[in-house]
Each structure stands twice: as C-alpha cells, then as structure tokens.
Amino acid sequence: MAKLFLATLCDDVREEKTGKFSLMGLFDRFIVADFRAPLPTFWLFVQIGCDSEGEHELTVELRQVDGPSVLRADLKHGIAGQSSITGLCHANVNLRLEHVVVPSAGVYEFTLRSDGEEIGSLPVEVVQAPARVVH
C-alpha cells in the first residue's frame, strides 16, 4: 500500500547534490490563449511512501473532470530506505511534462496510482486567456 505525501505542479525542479529538491514557480492554473497549441513545459513533483523497498509503478493520468483522458504516463521508480518517522519507504518523483494539449477550459485533475492503486489526485484549473483588444 502506498501513501501520497505531496503532489504539485511547478515550472522547474532542481535537485541539489545533498538530495534536497527545490521547486520553482508552483501553480494550479493554466491560462490558455489557443487550445490547439501545447501548454508550456511544466513539472509534476510527487512524494510518495510505499510499504516496501524496490521498484514500484507510478501511473499519472490527466483528465477533464468527468471527461476523457488527456495524457497518461506509466513509469517505474526505485525506493530504498525506510523513514523512521512514517515507517514507509519514501520516493520523490519529478516528471517533466511537455507537448500537453488540453481541449478546452474547465477543471482537470491529475490522478496518481501506485502499483495500480489510486493514491490521490491533484486538481488544476484551465482558463481561457482574455481576448486582446486591437485598436
């Protein structure tokens, strides 16, 4: 069984030599001028805890709430070492997402599954950019 500790969207993720992560430009909304064009490149940063060490599967799916899936990413990540605080084995996963196209404005969510079990979701709002007035 896995537990989601943190999930956020950001402009960039930096991993320091000490193993710490710095998250730059956290956000929860996309402002889209043209729904035919892809969103700017962004990162999904996730921290999860699992019962056991070793390789685990993480599935990330973006869909409009009550709508079709926009993207799905299946990846494997390794976990080593157990936290004395939670008793779980922790993993930080930073997923760079690019060329993502959303069809319309609305409420979307990233659904996260670890080893096939849903562990949480992250809502994100997509809004239409205001039209420019040309004089």
pLDDT tens sequence across 71-130: 999 999 888 788 888 889 888 999 999 999 999 999 999 999 999 999 999 999 999 988
The total number of structural domains that make up the chain: 1
For residue 1, what pLDDT is reported? 81
The DSSP code for 66 is: T
The DSSP code for 104 is: S
Whether 135 is in a domain gets the answer no
Whether 22 is in a domain gets the answer yes
Longest dimension (CA), the chain: 63
Whether 11 is in a domain gets the answer yes
For residue 116, what pLDDT is reported? 93
Whether 8 is in a domain gets the answer yes
The pTM of this model reads 0.89
Q: What are the tokens at 123?
A: 């809502």
By residue count, the chain amounts to: 135
Write out the residue range of the structural domain in which residue 55 sits.
Answer: 2-128
Q: What are the tokens at 112?
A: 């996260």
Whether 52 is in a domain gets the answer yes
Whether 98 is in a domain gets the answer yes
For residue 132, what pLDDT is reported? 75
Q: SS3 of 55, please?
A: strand
Q: What are the tokens at 118?
A: 């849903």
44-59 per-position pLDDT tens digit: 999 999 988 889 999 9
Whether 134 is in a domain gets the answer no
The residues, ordered by sequence, that sit 6+ positions from 84 with a Cβ below 8 Å of its Cβ are: none
CATH (domain of 122): 2.60.40.10
